[in-house]
Amino acid sequence: METAILLLSCPDAKGIDARISSFIWQNEGNIVHFDQHVDEEFGRYFARVEWTLEDFRLPREGIREALLPLASELRADWRIHFSSERPRVGIMVSRHLHCLYDLLARWKEGRLRCEIPLIIGDKPDGEGVARMFGIPFHHLPVDLERREEGERRQIELLKREGVELVVLARYGKILSPLFVEEFRNRIISVHPSFLPAFPGKDPFTQAYRRGVKLIGATAHFVSEEVDEGPIIYQDVVRISHKDSPADLVRKSENLEKISLSEAVRLYCERRILVYENKTIVFE
Amino acid sequence: METAILLLSCPDAKGIDARISSFIWQNEGNIVHFDQHVDEEFGRYFARVEWTLEDFRLPREGIREALLPLASELRADWRIHFSSERPRVGIMVSRHLHCLYDLLARWKEGRLRCEIPLIIGDKPDGEGVARMFGIPFHHLPVDLERREEGERRQIELLKREGVELVVLARYGKILSPLFVEEFRNRIISVHPSFLPAFPGKDPFTQAYRRGVKLIGATAHFVSEEVDEGPIIYQDVVRISHKDSPADLVRKSENLEKISLSEAVRLYCERRILVYENKTIVFE
Amino acid sequence: METAILLLSCPDAKGIDARISSFIWQNEGNIVHFDQHVDEEFGRYFARVEWTLEDFRLPREGIREALLPLASELRADWRIHFSSERPRVGIMVSRHLHCLYDLLARWKEGRLRCEIPLIIGDKPDGEGVARMFGIPFHHLPVDLERREEGERRQIELLKREGVELVVLARYGKILSPLFVEEFRNRIISVHPSFLPAFPGKDPFTQAYRRGVKLIGATAHFVSEEVDEGPIIYQDVVRISHKDSPADLVRKSENLEKISLSEAVRLYCERRILVYENKTIVFE
Amino acid sequence: METAILLLSCPDAKGIDARISSFIWQNEGNIVHFDQHVDEEFGRYFARVEWTLEDFRLPREGIREALLPLASELRADWRIHFSSERPRVGIMVSRHLHCLYDLLARWKEGRLRCEIPLIIGDKPDGEGVARMFGIPFHHLPVDLERREEGERRQIELLKREGVELVVLARYGKILSPLFVEEFRNRIISVHPSFLPAFPGKDPFTQAYRRGVKLIGATAHFVSEEVDEGPIIYQDVVRISHKDSPADLVRKSENLEKISLSEAVRLYCERRILVYENKTIVFE
């Protein structure tokens, strides 16, 4: 059953819930999910509204225009999605393949509603996995001294394939501001720590040295500052003095793959809004 | 800032969100939280709506009447609450006092918005704790052969004190259907297991014998069937072969007290709806 | 660095730790891990001892014989393993493939120290995945009315391939006592519930109907009684009224694959002892 | 049944397990728990050994001397404890009382095996709770400009009462190096964050601003560097965009009280060894 999904944020005011839900009711839509949130610090309203299109009076292509006057009056940032549309996702990978395996297995089993037209590797390691799942693999190494040139080829390829979301499945290179700007709030990465603890290089050694009793993983949107972007999902697992740095790596892989796949799923189901370096995730 | 809270459930239909939110908007209320849920199996709609009364046009005592036509048209079960009203809670206790301590310490620290006019014990053990916190304690033993007589005195006392919610803080006796009927969906208990696993007597020995790797606790409304009422909150903790039955008891106490206190908080904040032996908890 | 691993259980007595560790010391072994446990209910001692073979005076093939007198005096059940030996694992699968993917991806990435000589399916669904990972797939359907005949072919094949451990990766058929007896405490399965809650058929519907607030998965050894064998690993995740039965299935898949893969890893690293329908897991 | 508990760490070598366990066996002790750990980075051995004194040939007061030669040969740091001895614990508190309530309720219910001869507050807020539980309360404010003078009175009082362990139950002042030195690895505090994330002031605002999806608490030994001492116990809870800073405070209180009480229990049961700013916790 097809649904429309409205993602909207605007300055808070009286009557927003009423006006949005009345718009849908007047057009004979049946609301399946109405999730809203008011951030009191920012005085801002956020909503995700999903309704069935079965008896809806407006045709799909007319909804956007019909919503324009209301949205403009509310001074809203907004997007409308349809459950039948699947975002095109490009995956980038380096040497560690557990996240790639997990994403592709879920996708193959119908658990991620997206298209995956390509996988890009700055190392050749991911090629075998890509071939197993029948997805084109592009080995595009990025020379740190000529990063922009390498990235330009990656961006070009991603755009040519109509990629909406870029997923860094333990991709090893830091992206330039140019790349980030090109896919603002549309690049999801996973960091093997409970951010903001242990950002940057070698979080396992950092965690081992500090003697923490839990380790974590963090899926987040990529911003210009490394490991500082809006957090989407985090998970942790208990460890003890018995765990060597190698054990931490192994335990972390479970967290990384589940956090990243979960974040990608939430994006594909249009459940994430970003505002001021934070996410509102309507689960 | 005072708020009104509407808890409502009704057969699902188009426009319910719009009609409720429009009612509030037309009367100049500012919605702080709008949580709704449609249960597709039952075709039923559930909502918790909270709005500020500051500029609301209707006086508190007029809201109920003003809502009547809409509620009746929706064939709704509904209640209206106000954040300034604090439910009166009666606690019943036997020998294990950790849940009692936890409830009273939270209450004393302002974390449970309720009144606690009395504590009833079928054993005298809770008296010292009650006195510490300055709450009247009533030792009302219940003789199993004359249970109804004993319970009648308990019910009478609870009603005389205007008690809305009865909390069984590891109370050791099973309540009769008479008692349950008197406080339908207004008795919260905690069972030291992850229900429906290990109901009834001695869940620790059951768990130890079965060799489970996690133990749990379950806070639930009390119904006629023992440990079968609607579940409000559950929590678990990892155990290992090293844990003796006594260790399970100790580890469980953390789960029990947090599950019970959390369930009572959710009730007092008017976040729980019950339907067909299940809860909808709007957190 | 190669190690020897002793798994031992015997009636409890004074001096067992001393005698085992002295045996290793006298032969110049360096103990890396010494884990022991005394079950007071059964009066039984359990140990897992791991030591390096680098300077060990006894040759690998002589260790068993050298330990015999001590083991016999302690009336011990015991086995000796070597880190360089990899158990041969046969996987059985039906329609749900997420656990199969997870096992094979870990194995391919070097996270499961075992050989996987074959995959058996009673349905053809797993064949594509098996081929992706280059493992022989055998489609051996089991007709419920002639179950023993079907199982005999499966057992024959598993034995011909020298399989030590059978892993049921969401295999859909119940094994006969004959099969269980053939691989006593060497068949690991995963059940999509927090056992002993919701055993048997359709645990998701059971969980949804009961309105639990957490769901789980249980990896266990298979015994004659369905879902009653010794538990190895359990995990849970929080759910809410928002989760439909389909959401429970999706959330459960994460738990199932991690619980099963973790249990298989623990087995392959020789960390599990079984006694009286319970496991001692030395992590 | 009384037991002796040996806590020992020394440079790693062959035969340590054998020599310790043989010492106990030769004296007819029955080992109940033997936990050891080898830290490969430091090349160091750690053990906690607990045995019954029932038939032990050595009198309690002779054990220490009898162990001396072995301990000195191993160049060990070591202590011997007896299950019948209860450490004397001094609690320090400021304004937030939830941890104090939790510690005292557990202690009263027999879940913390220690004596609590006094509670010190730099604010008067804890006095009522101390009185409820019948424990002497000392209001000793510390003027930041004359911190050493204030602390000297606190230390004097703690020593006069024979306090072994100091517990900071959300005590609001930073201790001077003088105080820390006086109770090296014998001061346990709890910080309301998942350290090393959000150290120092106002971790709730930090967490809210960063938009994390889990918050935590950390019980640790106090060292000269604020929030940098050896970590004993950590716990986390899931949060969402719906949680205001006030909700974070409330949710954190559960974590704080359980983490702190758990750490104090582990200390009192002689389960913690400290080495190089990390803890080995034998659970």
Asked if the Cβ–Cβ distance from B254 to D258 is below 8 Å, we say: yes
Asked if the Cβ–Cβ distance from D211 to A242 is below 8 Å, we say: no
Asked if the Cβ–Cβ distance from D212 to A234 is below 8 Å, we say: yes
Nearest chain A residue to B12 by CA: give it. Answer: A30
Read off the pLDDT of residues A93-114 as tens digits, 9 standing for 90 and up: 999 999 999 999 999 999 999 9
What is the rounded distance in angstroms from the CA atom of residue D15 to the CA atom of residue D11? 12
Are C92 and C166 a contacting pair, CB within 8 Å? yes
Instruction: Tell me: do B206 and B260 sit in the same domain.
Output: yes
What is the rounded distance in angstroms from the CA atom of residue B157 to the CA atom of residue B135? 14
Q: What percent of chain D has pLDDT above 70?
A: 100
E-strand ranges in C107-146 read: 115-121, 137-139
Chain C contact set for D17 (CB, 8 A): 17, 21, 25, 31, 34
Read off the pLDDT of residues B185-238 as tens digits, 9 standing for 90 and up: 999 999 999 999 999 999 999 999 999 999 999 999 999 999 999 999 999 999
Helix and strand totals (H; E) in chain D: 8, 13
State residue C70's pLDDT score: 98
Asked if the Cβ–Cβ distance from B194 to C195 is below 8 Å, we say: no
Strands of the D187-191 sheet, one edge to the other:
D137-139, D115-121, D88-93, D165-169, D187-191, D214-221, D231-238
State residue D172's pLDDT score: 93
Q: What percent of chain A has pLDDT above 70?
A: 100
Instruction: Tell me: do B159 and B255 sit in the same domain.
Output: yes
Are B100 and B169 a contacting pair, CB within 8 Å? yes
Chain D contact set for C32 (CB, 8 A): 38
Instruction: Tell me: do B9 and B116 sit in the same domain.
Output: no
pLDDT category of residue D49 using cuts at 50, 70 and 90: very high
Range of the domain at C26: 3-82
For the four alpha carbons of A109, A112, A113 and A119, in that order, the dihedral sign comes to negative
Say which DSSP state B96 is in: -
pLDDT category of residue D186 using cuts at 50, 70 and 90: very high
For residue D196, whether the previous peptide bond is cis, meaning omega lies within 30 degrees of 0, is yes
Say which DSSP state B182 is in: H
pLDDT category of residue A144 using cuts at 50, 70 and 90: confident
B138 is written with which tokens? 């009533």
How, if at all, do strands B214-221 and B231-238 pair? antiparallel
Chain-centroid distance of CA B101 in Å reads 17
State residue D116's pLDDT score: 98
Instruction: Tell me: do D124 and D53 sit in the same domain.
Output: no
D208 is written with which tokens? 């809210």
Read off the pLDDT of residues B229-282 as tens digits, 9 standing for 90 and up: 999 999 999 999 999 999 999 999 999 999 999 999 999 999 999 999 999 999
Longest dimension (CA), chain A: 63
Q: Where are the alpha helices (DSSP H) in A161-239?
A: 177-182, 203-210
Q: What is the nearest CA distance from C12 to chain D, expressed in angstroms?
A: 10
Partner residue opposite A105 with nearest CB, options C101, C109, C111 = C101
Q: What is the nearest CA distance from A51 to chain D, expressed in angstroms?
A: 23
Chains touching B by CB (3 or more pairs below 8 Å)? A, C, D
State residue C1's pLDDT score: 87
Nearest chain B residue to C232 by CA: give it. Answer: B213
Chain C contact set for B198 (CB, 8 A): 196
Q: What is the nearest CA distance from B242 to chain A, expressed in angstroms?
A: 15
pLDDT category of residue C51 using cuts at 50, 70 and 90: very high
What is the rounded distance in angstroms from the CA atom of residue D115 to the CA atom of residue D268? 10
The last residue of one of the domains, among D82, D107, D122, is D82
> Given the structure tokens 């023993």, which residue do they identify?
C148
Instruction: Tell me: do B95 and B66 sit in the same domain.
Output: no
What is the rounded distance in angstroms from the CA atom of residue C7 to the CA atom of residue A172? 41
Q: What is the nearest CA distance from A39 to chain D, expressed in angstroms?
A: 8
Instruction: Tell me: do B186 and B265 sit in the same domain.
Output: yes
Residues 6+ apart with CB under 8 A from C246: none
Say which DSSP state B122 is in: S
3-state SS, residue C26: helix
List, by residue number, the catalytic residues of C.
Answer: 227
Asked if the Cβ–Cβ distance from A231 to D210 is below 8 Å, we say: yes
Instruction: Tell me: do D228 and D271 sit in the same domain.
Output: yes
Find the radius of gyration of the CA atoms of chain C.
20
Instruction: Tell me: do C52 and C129 sit in the same domain.
Output: no
- Give residue B34's identity as a one-letter amino acid code: F
State residue D138's pLDDT score: 98
Over chain C, what is the mean pLDDT? 97
What is the rounded distance in angstroms from the CA atom of residue B114 to the CA atom of residue D178? 45
Asked if the Cβ–Cβ distance from B18 to A25 is below 8 Å, we say: yes
C247 is written with which tokens? 């959401």
A244 is written with which tokens? 């060597």
Chain D contact set for A210 (CB, 8 A): 195-196, 231
Asked if the Cβ–Cβ distance from D25 to C18 is below 8 Å, we say: yes
Read off the pLDDT of residues D226-249 as tens digits, 9 standing for 90 and up: 999 999 999 999 999 999 999 999
Of B238, C238, A281, B207, which is closest to residue D235 (Cα–Cα)? B238
Asked if the Cβ–Cβ distance from D242 to B111 is below 8 Å, we say: no
Q: What is the nearest CA distance from B29 to chain D, expressed in angstroms?
A: 20
Chain D contact set for A279 (CB, 8 A): 211, 241
The residue-averaged pLDDT of C83-104 equals 98
Over chain A, what is the mean pLDDT? 97
Q: What is the nearest CA distance from D22 to chain C, expressed in angstroms?
A: 5
Instruction: Tell me: do A93 and A230 sit in the same domain.
Output: yes
State residue A151's pLDDT score: 95
Nearest chain B residue to D112 by CA: give it. Answer: B250
Partner residue opposite D21 with nearest CB, options C21, C28, C32 = C21
Read off the pLDDT of residues A166-178 as tens digits, 9 standing for 90 and up: 999 999 999 999 9
Partner residue opposite B213 with nearest CB, options C214, C231, C277 = C231
Partner residue opposite D25 with nearest CB, options C14, C36, C38 = C14
What is the rounded distance in angstroms from the CA atom of residue A49 to the CA atom of residue A34? 5
State the CB neighbour count (10 A cutoff) for residue A164.
17
pLDDT category of residue B144 using cuts at 50, 70 and 90: confident
Q: What is the nearest CA distance from A138 to chain D, expressed in angstroms?
A: 34
Domain CATH for A170: 3.40.50.170
Chain C contact set for A97 (CB, 8 A): 105, 109
Helix (H) or strand (E) holding D234: strand D231-238
3-state SS, residue B181: helix
What is the rounded distance in angstroms from the CA atom of residue A114 to the CA atom of residue A135? 13
State residue D1's pLDDT score: 87
Partner residue opposite D213 with nearest CB, options A198, A213, A233 = A233
Partner residue opposite D34 with nearest CB, options C24, C25, C36 = C36
Asked if the Cβ–Cβ distance from A250 to C111 is below 8 Å, we say: yes
Say which DSSP state C179 is in: H
How, if at all, do strands A44-52 and A30-39 pair? antiparallel
Cα angle value B267/B268/B274 (rounded, 5°)? 25
Are B178 and B148 a contacting pair, CB within 8 Å? yes
pLDDT category of residue C108 using cuts at 50, 70 and 90: very high
What is the rounded distance in angstroms from the CA atom of residue D78 to the CA atom of residue D47? 9
Of B280, A82, D243, which is closest to residue C243 (Cα–Cα)? B280
Read off the pLDDT of residues A75-99 as tens digits, 9 standing for 90 and up: 999 999 999 999 999 999 999 999 9
Asked if the Cβ–Cβ distance from B214 to C194 is below 8 Å, we say: yes
Asked if the Cβ–Cβ distance from C31 to D17 is below 8 Å, we say: yes
Read off the pLDDT of residues C3-36 as tens digits, 9 standing for 90 and up: 999 999 999 999 999 999 999 999 999 999 999 9
Instruction: Tell me: do D255 and D202 sit in the same domain.
Output: yes
pLDDT reading at D144 higher than 90:
no
The last residue of one of the domains, among D62, D82, D102, is D82
Burial class (CB in 10 A: 0-12, 13-18, 19+), D64: middle
Domain CATH for D55: 3.30.70.260
Instruction: Tell me: do C201 and C116 sit in the same domain.
Output: yes
Instruction: Tell me: do B140 and B224 sit in the same domain.
Output: yes
pLDDT reading at C144 higher than 90:
no
> Given the structure tokens 């790693």, which residue do they identify?
D12
Cα angle value B239/B240/B243 (rounded, 5°)? 85
State residue C206's pLDDT score: 96
Number of separate domains in chain A: 2
Asked if the Cβ–Cβ distance from C14 to D29 is below 8 Å, we say: yes
**Choosing from D227, D235, D243, D247, which is the catalytic residue?**
D227
Read off the pLDDT of residues A7-41 as tens digits, 9 standing for 90 and up: 999 999 999 999 999 999 999 999 999 999 999 99
Are A3 and A53 a contacting pair, CB within 8 Å? yes
Of C25, C30, C24, which is closest to residue C67 (Cα–Cα)? C24
The last residue of one of the domains, among D82, D106, D128, is D82
What is the rounded distance in angstroms from the CA atom of residue B210 to the CA atom of residue C195? 9
**Choosing from A12, A227, A235, A247, which is the catalytic residue?**
A227
The phi and psi torsions of D79 (rounded to 5 degrees) equal -145, 150
C123 is written with which tokens? 């349905």
pTM of the entire structure? 0.97
Find the radius of gyration of the CA atoms of chain B.
20
What is the rounded distance in angstroms from the CA atom of residue B116 to the CA atom of residue B163? 9
Chain-centroid distance of CA D232 in Å reads 7
Chain C residues within 8 A (CB-CB) of chain B?
Answer: 37, 39-40, 46, 194-198, 210-214, 216, 230-236, 240-242, 244, 277-281, 283
